[in-house]
Amino acid sequence: MTNGWSPSQALEPVRTYRDFTAGQSLAAKARGLARAAALRALSLGRSPGAAGSDRGGWIRFPFYHHVFDDERKDFGRQLDFMAGLGDFIGLDDAVATLAAGDPIDGRYFCITFDDGFKNGHTNAMPVLLDKKAPAAFFLVTGHVGASLQDDRERLLGFYDSGDLLIEFLDWDDCREMASAGMTFGSHTVNHVHLADLGEAGVEAELKESKQAIETELGRACDHFCCPFGRQGIDFLASRDPGIARRAGYKSFLSAHRGAMTQGGSEMMVKRDHLLAGWGNYQLRYFFS
């Protein structure tokens, strides 16, 4: 105890959105405000499903990172909003529908969560169960069970903006969630940019994480969600979905926005990033 650093004062995880934004840079906050104002204007008069590209049905894949303690009510309100537009569908069924190329006979929402934060268990799951919405959680297996004490370096700066510590799920949380009907998929071992790795490196990230999830949860890990998720920047479309398929995955999820319609590939799934506190007008904009 000679370095003057006291764990008790430094290891305080973020549990509220208020503290989360307080830890972000001013520039990031300004961007958020400007975007909210722009969306509010743009969302006026738009109605989900009314666009010409929505001939027939669709499946949308909203994706979240966290539901903080002060966002549970808003998250429930968002699920109610989605339930007013369509039906919830589990990831296995959504992927099977896309893979079969079957007509999509309605509007469906398949809820997903990236990164495996603990608030997925403490805050998101109770609301999901209450609203009867199945969801899939994508784990960074090297972070599961990470303790704030031992993994401070790894946890700090998980987000680019600021000095934030956010707790991760442990395997007991995951087993409980799986028993409650939640699906688990892989988000790599180390939350890496696949595009920066050679083929063997990508293969290792995909195979080792799949193996860990299957061993710990005693069930198949069929789905892969690419960290950061942008084609050509974070992954190579000509290479990585193929590696995923050879590793035994049945899907590859990206971070590109949009609805999935009949004929869309389950190995290139588009998703809509959401924050749990966003207003319905923001959802309306992204869903239209």
Interface with Zn ion (CB under 5 A): 114-115, 227
CB of 189 to Zn ion, least distance (A): 12
Q: Which is nearer to Zn ion, 58 or 252 (CB)?
A: 252
Q: Nearer Cβ to Zn ion, position 168 or 278?
A: 168
Q: How far is the CB of 79 from Zn ion (least distance, A)?
A: 21
Nearest distance from C-beta of residue 272 to Zn ion, angstroms: 15
Q: Shortest distance, CB of residue 158 to Zn ion, whole angstroms? A: 9
Q: Which residue is nearest to Zn ion (CB)?
A: 114
Taking the least distance from each CB to Zn ion, the nearer of 104 and 140 is: 140
Closest CB to Zn ion among 185 and 227? 227
- Shortest distance, CB of residue 114 to Zn ion, whole angstroms? 4
Of 17 and 64, which has the nearer Cβ to Zn ion? Answer: 64
Distance CA 188, CA 224 (A): 8
Q: Give least dist CB 30 to Zn ion, A.
A: 24
User: How many Cβ atoms are within 10 Å of 245's Cβ, its own excluded?
Assistant: 15
* Residue closer to Zn ion (CB basis): 104 or 221: 221
Bridge partners of 88, per DSSP, are 109
